[in-house]
């Protein structure tokens, strides 16, 4: 089942982008504090996203006619991993670039593509993804939010979404809602609709998280009238579309690098110290794991480059990746006494607290560990 995962080197043409993105980040992130960078792809900075778009680093795989750069999956991988390793605040455009634009390209109408993709590539238009609901988390097929068809071909949207990342900053949201049937019909009758978040009838309430940040939101739709061209793809095919989208959401390097800035900061602070074997071993194990996970993520990228939808492989790499991401703060906590007081500066301390506190979410967002393992078991033929 896993024969797809062989070691592959990143092709030279994709590697050629690396020095450009490194140079961009070196100048652009000079003044970003460690604890800001430790937020990894949760760091929101609209100005940064705009300048990244201006420099040509958003929409790398999207066609040139829609404002993209027509490059391959490997080019995108190189840029993403450099952004993540540097701790660039990419949250503003991340979801639009990763999921919404590819979704619109694949299933959207020509008008929808022309309307949204160019401004996504410029880093000016931000998207949120409305999947989870108060009563539907891992059991996504049980969504209750509903869009009722109107006579003019439009839709009236009612319901709630929750844990929606950055809805309060986003301009649009693509929601998975029921357009026909009842919740008992499960994935039949679900559709994806694109919602302008400035429309009347929409209430967005940020939810403060454990670290004091507010990136999650609760979004209520109270009789929101949507125009006819809000439907993305085919009515009733939402489940199939979402499944394809989740392979994109789960396969990227952000599922292995979320704790990398913290790890590097810790290793940097260990420099020159006489440290015991336990800490050296931890550094060795974590480093080895990054090497293996990166190689796996690159081969999943190769699957995408071949036009495959590596659902099982992506689940597998995400579960292993988030295990590593969660292990980093745990290892540092267990070895905290290795670091003398003089090396526990405030920004390091804040970074450690932040990553430790939010790390449980690494294996929740984008499909929980248990759901992923269910997908892997199914891929192995278990029913």
Partner 1 sequence: MIDEIGRMVLDTAERFLGDCCTPDTLRGWEQGGSVDDLWAEIVALGLADALLAEEGGDAAVGLPELGELAILCGRHLLPVPLADTIAARAILARGNVSIPEGPILLAPDPAAVWPLAVTAHHALVERDGALQLVALDPSRVTPVQRGGLSARLDLAGVESLIVPSPPAPLLALAASLRAAETVGMLGRIFELALAHAGERQQFGKPIGSFQAVQQQLAVLAEEHAAAAMAVSFAFGLPGHLDMMRAGIAKLRADAAAGKGLAIAHAVIGAIGVSEEFALRLFARRLIDTRLCAGGEAYWAVEIGRRRLKAGATGTLDFIRQTGAAG
Residues that are catalytic:
249
DSSP letter string over 69-114? Answer: ----HHHHHHHHHHHHHHT---HHHHHIIIIIHHHHHHHS-HHHHH
Convert 173-208 to b/e letters by CB count within 10 Å (16 or more is b). Answer: bbbbbbbeeeeeeebebbbbbbbebeeeebebebee
- The token pair that represents 358 in the structure block: 């939010």
Using the contact rule CB under 8 A, the part of the chain among 45-53, 65-73, 145-153, 269-277 near partner 1 is 269-277
Q: How far is the CB of 293 from partner 1 (least distance, A)?
A: 8
Q: Which stretch binds partner 1 (CB under 8 A): 3-11, 59-67, 211-219, 302-310?
A: 3-11
Q: Of 109 and 287, which has the nearer Cβ to partner 1?
A: 287
Q: Does 372 bind partner 1 (CB under 8 A)?
A: yes
Per CB under 8 A, 319 contacts partner 1: yes
Helix (H, G, I), strand (E, B) or coil at 188: coil
Smallest separation (angstroms) from partner 1 to the CB of 53? 23
Nearer to partner 1, 56 or 374 (CB): 374
Decide: 185 and 142 in contact? Cβ < 8 Å.
Answer: no
Which among 224, 239, 150 has a CA at the least distance from the CA of 194?
A: 224
Report the C-alpha gap between 251 and 190 in whole angstroms: 24
Per-residue binder mask for partner 1 (CB under 8 A), 222-261, x = binder: -----------------------------------x--x-
Smallest separation, CB 179 to partner 1 (Å)? 31
Radius of gyration (C-alpha) of the chain in whole angstroms:
21
Strands 172-178 and 127-130: parallel
Kindly state whether residue 7 participates in binding partner 1, applying the rule CB under 8 A.
Answer: yes
| Closer by beta carbon to partner 1, 24 or else 126 | 24
Q: How far is the CB of 341 from partner 1 (least distance, A)?
A: 20
Q: What would the 3-class secondary structure string for 249-263 be?
A: HHHCHHHCCCCHHHH
**Should residue 264 be labelled a site residue for partner 1 when binding is judged by CB under 8 A?**
yes
User: Measured on CA atoms in the order 15, 44, 232, 245, is the torsion positive or negative?
Assistant: positive
First-to-final CA distance of the chain? 15
Structure tokens at 123: 């880093």
Least distance between partner 1 and beta carbon 90 (Å): 16
**Gap between the Cα atoms of 122 and 205, Å rounded:** 27
By the rule CB under 8 A, 316 interacts with partner 1: yes
> Rounded to whole angstroms, how far apart are CA atoms 299 and 9?
9
Residue 275 Cβ, how far from partner 1 at the closest point, in Å?
A: 8
| 1 binding partner 1? (CB under 8 A) | yes
Q: Which stretch binds partner 1 (CB under 8 A): 147-155, 189-197, 223-231, 273-281?
A: 273-281
Choose which of 19, 306, 344, 373 interacts with partner 1 (CB under 8 A): 373
Among 34, 95, 157, 282, binds partner 1 (CB under 8 A): 282
> Are the beta carbons of 126 and 93 closer than 8 angstroms?
yes
Q: How many residues bind partner 1 (CB under 8 A)?
A: 52
- Examine residue 291 and tell whether it contacts partner 1 (CB under 8 A): yes
* Contacting residues toward partner 1, per CB under 8 A: 1-2, 5-9, 81-82, 85, 257, 260, 263-264, 267-268, 270-271, 275, 277, 279-296, 299, 316, 319-320, 370, 372-374, 376-377, 380-383
């Amino acid at each position: 089942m896993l024969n797809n995962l062989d070691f592959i080197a990143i092709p030279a043409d994709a590697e050629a982008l690396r020095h450009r993105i490194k140079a961009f980040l070196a100048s652009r992130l000079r003044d970003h504090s460690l604890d800001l960078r430790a937020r990894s792809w949760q760091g929101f900075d609209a100005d940064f996203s705009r300048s990244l778009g201006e420099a040509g680093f958003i929409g790398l795989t999207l066609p040139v006619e829609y404002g993209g750069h027509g490059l391959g999956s490997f080019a995108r991988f190189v840029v993403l991993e450099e952004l993540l390793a540097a701790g660039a605040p990419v949250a503003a455009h991340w979801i639009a670039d990763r999921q919404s634009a590819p979704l619109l390209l694949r299933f959207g109408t020509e008008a929808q593509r022309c309307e949204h993709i160019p401004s996504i590539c410029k880093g000016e238009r931000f998207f949120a993804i409305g999947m989870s609901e108060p009563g539907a988390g891992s059991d996504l097929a049980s969504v209750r939010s509903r869009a009722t068809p109107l006579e003019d071909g439009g839709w009236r949207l009612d319901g709630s979404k929750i844990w929606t990342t950055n809805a309060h900053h986003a301009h649009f949201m693509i929601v998975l809602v029921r357009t026909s049937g009842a919740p008992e019909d499960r994935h039949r009758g679900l559709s994806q609709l694109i919602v302008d978040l400035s429309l009347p009838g929409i209430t967005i309430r940020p939810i403060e998280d454990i670290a004091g940040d507010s990136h999650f939101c609760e979004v209520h739709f109270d009789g929101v009238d949507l125009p006819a061209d809000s439907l993305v793809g085919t009515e009733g095919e939402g489940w199939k579309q979402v499944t394809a989208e989740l392979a994109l959401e789960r396969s990227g390097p952000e599922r292995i690098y979320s704790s990398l800035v913290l790890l590097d900061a810790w290793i940097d602070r260990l420099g020159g110290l006489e440290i015991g074997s336990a800490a050296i071993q931890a550094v060795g194990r974590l480093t080895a794991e990054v090497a293996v996970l990166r190689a796996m993520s690159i081969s999943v990228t190769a699957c995408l480059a071949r036009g495959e939808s590596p659902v099982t492989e992506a689940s597998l790499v995400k579960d292993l990746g988030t295990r590593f991401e969660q292990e980093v703060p745990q290892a540092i906590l267990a070895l905290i006494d290795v670091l003398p007081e003089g090396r526990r500066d405030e920004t390091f301390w804040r970074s450690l607290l932040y990553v430790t506190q939010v790390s449980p979410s690494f294996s929740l967002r984008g499909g929980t560990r248990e759901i992923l393992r269910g997908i892997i078991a199914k891929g192995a033929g278990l029913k």
